[in-house]
Amino acid sequence: MSDADGRRLATVRHVPSTAALLAAASGLGLGLSLIVAIGAQNAFVLRQGLRAEHVGAVVAVCTASDAVLIAAGVGGAGALVTREPAVLRVVGLAGAAFLFGYGALAARRALRPAGLVATGTGGRTALAATVVTCLGLTWLNPHVYLDTVALLGTLSGTYGSDRWAFGAGAALGSLLWFTGLGYGARLLRPVFARPAAWRVLDTIIAAVMVALAVSLALRVLR
The DSSP annotation for 179-215 comes to HHHHHHGGGGTTGGGSHHHHHHHHHHHHHHHHHHHHH
Share of the chain above pLDDT 90, in %: 25
Please report the pLDDT score of residue 211 as a whole number: 86
Distance between CA atoms of residues 100 and 138, nearest Å: 14
Contacts of 79 (CB under 8 A, 6+ apart): none
Which pLDDT does position 58 carry in this prediction?
97
Contact 180, 59 (CB under 8 A): no
Q: Counting beta carbons within 10 angstroms of the beta carbon of residue 27, is it exposed (0 to 12), middle (13 to 18) or buried (19 or more)?
A: buried
* Residues 66, 162: Cα–Cα separation, whole Å: 19
**Whether pLDDT at 4 is above 70:** no
Mean pLDDT of 182-207: 86
* Burial of residue 192 (number of CB atoms within 10 Å: 0-12, 13-18, 19+): buried
pLDDT band for 175, please (50, 70, 90 cuts).
very high
- What is the pLDDT averaged over residues 183-193? 86
Tens-place pLDDT, residues 35-51: 876 678 888 999 899 98
Q: Summarize the confidence of residues 106-121 as an average pLDDT.
A: 66
Instruction: With a cut of 60, say whether residue 14 has pLDDT above it.
Output: no
- Provide the pLDDT for residue 84: 64
What residue ranges in 73-205 does DSSP mark as E strands? none
22: how many CB neighbours lie within 10 A of its CB?
A: 16
Q: Roughly what angle, to the nearest 10 degrees, separates helices 163-184 and 18-35?
A: 40
Average pLDDT of span 166-178: 93
Highest mean pLDDT among 83-92, 129-138, 146-155, 196-205: 129-138
| Higher-pLDDT residue of 162, 157 | 162
Question: How many alpha carbons lie under 13 Å from residue 134 in its C-beta half-sphere?
Answer: 30
| Selected residue with higher pLDDT from 8 and 73 | 73
- What is the distance between the alpha carbons of residues 70 and 173, in angstroms, rounded to a whole number? 11
> Is 8 or 50 the better-scoring residue by pLDDT?
50
Share of the chain above pLDDT 70, in %: 81
What pLDDT, on the 0 to 100 scale, is given for residue 59? 97
First to last CA, the chain: 67
